[in-house]
Amino acid sequence: MTLKFFFTYKTNVKERWKNKELLNVLVYEFRNRDEAYFRDAIDKGVIKVNGEIVKPTKKLKLTDYLEHTVHMHEPIPPKIDVIAKEDDYVVVNKPAGVPCHPTGGYLFYSVTKSLFGDKKVACVNRLDMPVSGVMIITFNNLSQCMEKIKDAKKFYIAKVKGIFPNHIEVNKKIVCKEGRKRYVSEEGKECLTIFDLISHNESYSLVKCQPITGRTHQIRIHLQSIGFPIVNDLIYGDEEPEEIETKEVTCDANYEEFDDQEMYKCVVKHCKGENNRSFNFKKYFICLHAWKYFYDSKEYEAPLPEWCRL
C-alpha cells in the first residue's frame, strides 16, 4: 500500500541566498534535481516566490519565501509497538528503516506521525533511521524530559565481524568534518563508550555497548575505530551498498481537479513515484539495537531483533 498526495514546501530565504538568482540557488542547494527541472518548475509556477510566478533570474531578498509543490509517494507507516505509557511520555520499539519524525523527504512515514498524527510531540532520544529499539517520545514537559535523558543509562546491542575482546573501553574524541559523517580526531569532543562481549561464533560477535557520552554516531564510529565495524553499516563499515533498483514511474494523480491544471500537470510529470528515500531505505537496517534504557527511575527494554541470533 502507498500514500499518494500533493504537498507544498515553504521555506524562507536564507542569508546565504541573499541577492542571488533563484535558479542558481535552486541548482546549487537542491542537487536531487537537475537544472532542466528547475527551469520547467519555475516557468509553470511549481516553484514560486512569495506566492507568485517569477523569472529564473529573480534576485532573492531576505524577506522572500519560496514555495515548491510536489507529488509524493510514501509507504504506509508501519505499526509501532508501545513498550510503556507514562504521564509525560511514551516509550516505543522503533523499527529499523523508519525515521523518528517527519523530515523533508518523509511527511507521514515516521514513528511520531504513525503514533500521534498531527499532535505536537518531540523525540527525547533520536535513533538513526537504520537503527531499531527503545525510543522515548514526549508530549509534555519537553525540557524536563530532555534533562532526564542526560542522566539515563543506555545499553545497545551491536553485531560485528570477528571475535570481539571480552571488555574494552574506547575513549576517543569525535569530530564532524565532512557533511554528516564523523571521525575520530583529537580536534573533536570527548567521547567514551564501554563495550562487553555477549557471545560469538566463528564469524560474528554480539557486543553490549554503553555510551557514556551522547555524541552522534559514537557507537558506530568507536567500533569502526578499533577494527570491528557494525554489520551492514554502509557509512562506517566496509560493506558496499547494494545498487538501488529504479522502478518504473507510474503516477496516476489527477491534476484536472485543480484550477491551475498547467501547474499541476507539470508536478505530476516530474513525480518520481516510488523512486525516493522512503521506499529505497525502508528495508535498510544496521545491526545496532537500542536495547535498554534506564530513564526516569524506570527500566525500558526493547525485544531483540532476529539478527541477534548467532
Active site residues: 128
Residue 245: partners with Cβ closer than 8 Å, 6 or more residues away: none
Helix (H) or strand (E) holding 159: strand 153-161
What pLDDT is recorded for position 247? 58
What pLDDT is recorded for position 218? 94
What pLDDT is recorded for position 32? 85
Contact 209/293 with Cβ under 8 angstroms?
no
What pLDDT is recorded for position 299? 95
What pLDDT is recorded for position 1? 72
How many C-beta atoms lie closer than 10 Å to residue 161's C-beta? 17
Could you report the per-residue pLDDT of 259-269, keeping only the tens digit for each? 788 899 999 89
What pLDDT is recorded for position 272? 85
User: What is the set of domains in the chain, with CATH numbers?
Assistant: 1-75+248-283 (3.10.290.10), 81-234+284-308 (3.30.2350.10)
- Residue in 150, 151, 120 with CA at minimum distance from that of residue 138: 120
pLDDT along the chain (310 residues), means of 10: 88 96 96 94 97 97 96 87 93 94 82 90 90 93 77 94 97 78 79 97 97 92 95 84 57 76 90 78 88 92 95
- Residue in 275, 270, 274 with CA at minimum distance from that of residue 70: 270
